[in-house]
Each structure stands twice: as structure tokens, then as C-alpha cells.
Amino acid sequence: MADYHFVYKDVEGASTQWDDIQRKLGNLPPKPAPFKPPAFTPADDPDLQPKSKSWIDDRTADELEDLEDDPDLDDDRFLEEYRKKRLAEMREAARVARFGSVVPISGSDFVREVSQASGDVWVVVLLYKDGIPECELLLQCLEELAKKYPATKFVKIISTDCIPNYPDHNLPTILVYNNSAVKATYVGLRHFGSRKCTPEAVALALCGSDPVLNDGRSGDSSKDDVIEGVRKRFIEKFVTQHEDREDEYSSD
């Protein structure tokens, strides 16, 4: 059956001569402007944007890898070299970011997380038990060091999960591993100043003979680096305490 309700529509924006006359007389509203899409520019398409250092800086690691076969970069050796440098920096940052905290592990994790750790990574293992004040004190120091030296791996494990029947009077105990071997053992707090244990004292002991602590930015750290850091922090604390005392006197 034919549809007699169909209404014919002219091209959008078209009008009759009669409509034009009526608009001039003010009997019809002005004719709306025809739709005109915005002009296309390369900026609308990220694949067509001009390549530059700032454009490369905004790419993710996966996107930088995808650019390896980009013909535009092949034509610009500087940008290709910059892409490779930027990708290497991002990979190194991702490697360092693996650590940065004291991670709890179980007995079944020990071989994978400690003994089989990469040969270029130093691992600091804390043997502890909850409820022992000395363990809590040393753990606080290690947590601070883990943030400062994120390229060094810090883990903690319940002592008897690591070594069956390990005596509580030996806690806390630190084991230092590198390249699948134990490099140092510290039993108790006496190595770190006993109850006056501080992160700086722990850092000095750990780096006594080997570059255990590594911040991931300047290569292997050394005892001299740690001592310099301790000296700076001591001066900062002294200045802060001196300023606090002056503020107290001035308020009195």
C-alpha cells in the first residue's frame, strides 16, 4: 500500500522564491545558516601530529616501542636517537621502581625472592617476630632506608618461617644477600647502636664493606656516599633544633 503521508524534504538550507519574499517582508524568521563542518587539521589526529621532543616526552613506553618503524623518525636521526634515549630512561625508572618498601614474604617465597634475586640486586632480609620492641625499632629504620634506596630490595620474614626453631633472643636479625650468597649477618641491635638505633646507623653498618644501599640514580652507592648523607642529615637536624629553641626563647 502506498504511503500517502510521505513529506518531501528539499536540500538543507534551500528555500523557494516565495519564502525569500516573505522573509524580506518580515513574515518568516531568517533562514538558518547551513551546517558547515569544521575544517580538518592534522592536530585532530594524533598520528598526524608533527613529531618533536615534547611530543615524544608525552608517549608511553609501549608507544615509544611502536615508533621504532615510524618512517618520520627514520628521516630525522635526532628524534630517533632521542626516542631511544627516552625509552632507556623509562625502562631504568621502571626497574628501580620495583622496590621502595619492606615487603613481607613467607618461607615458600624465600628462594624466589631472595636466593634467586637478580645478581645486580642487593637483598636485605629482616628476621623478626611481632611484639618484640627491638624488631619494631629496626623495622622502622629499614622502612625509611627502603624509600631512600629503592634499588636495594628489602624484605621481612617471620624468623621461624625462615629458620625453624630460630631463637627469639637473636632477634632482630638481618641477612644481606647478593648473587645467591649471604654476604653479611647482623644479630641483634648492637651493630646499630642498640636502643639508640637510627636509619643512619643501620645504613653505615650495611655499607661497611659492600655497596649494599643503592638509590638507583648514581650507580653503586658506597660507604663514603652514606657517610656524606648522614653528615648532611645531622647538620639539618642540628639547624632545625637550633631554630626551634630560638623560637621558644622569642615566644617567652
* Residue closest to 90 by CA, chosen among 65, 72, 71, 70: 65
More confident site: 79 or 137: 137
Residue with cell 500517502: 4
Examine the pLDDT at 74 and tell me if it is beyond 70: no
Average pLDDT, the chain: 78
Least confident stretch, 6-10, 181-185, 225-229: 6-10
Length of the chain: 252
Residues 125-147, mean pLDDT to the nearest whole number: 96
Residue 165's pLDDT band, with cuts at 50, 70 and 90, is very high
How far apart CA 120 and CA 124 sit, in angstroms, is 13
pLDDT number for residue 96: 56
pLDDT number for residue 15: 65
Residues 193-211, mean pLDDT to the nearest whole number: 87
Residue with cell 645504613: 203
How far apart CA 114 and CA 173 sit, in angstroms, is 15
Examine the pLDDT at 176 and tell me if it is beyond 70: yes
Least confident stretch, 80-89, 107-116, 165-174: 80-89
Examine the pLDDT at 144 and tell me if it is beyond 90: yes
Q: Would you say 149 and 121 are in contact if contact means Cβ atoms under 8 Å apart? A: no
Residue 133's pLDDT band, with cuts at 50, 70 and 90, is very high
> How much of the chain exceeds pLDDT 70, in percent?
62
pLDDT number for residue 179: 92
More confident site: 68 or 157: 157
pLDDT, tens digit, 9 for 90 and up, residues 88-113: 777 766 665 568 899 999 999 999 99
Q: Is the entire prediction scored with pTM above 0.75?
A: no
Q: Would you say 67 and 55 are in contact if contact means Cβ atoms under 8 Å apart? A: no
pLDDT number for residue 244: 64
pLDDT number for residue 143: 96
More confident site: 218 or 155: 155
More confident site: 56 or 47: 56
Task: List, in order, residues 6 or more apart from 243 with CB less than 8 Å away.
Answer: none
Q: Would you say 207 and 153 are in contact if contact means Cβ atoms under 8 Å apart? A: no
pLDDT number for residue 213: 87
Torsion angle of the four alpha carbons 106, 112, 114, 117, in this order, in degrees rounded to the nearest 10: -150
Examine the pLDDT at 185 and tell me if it is beyond 90: yes
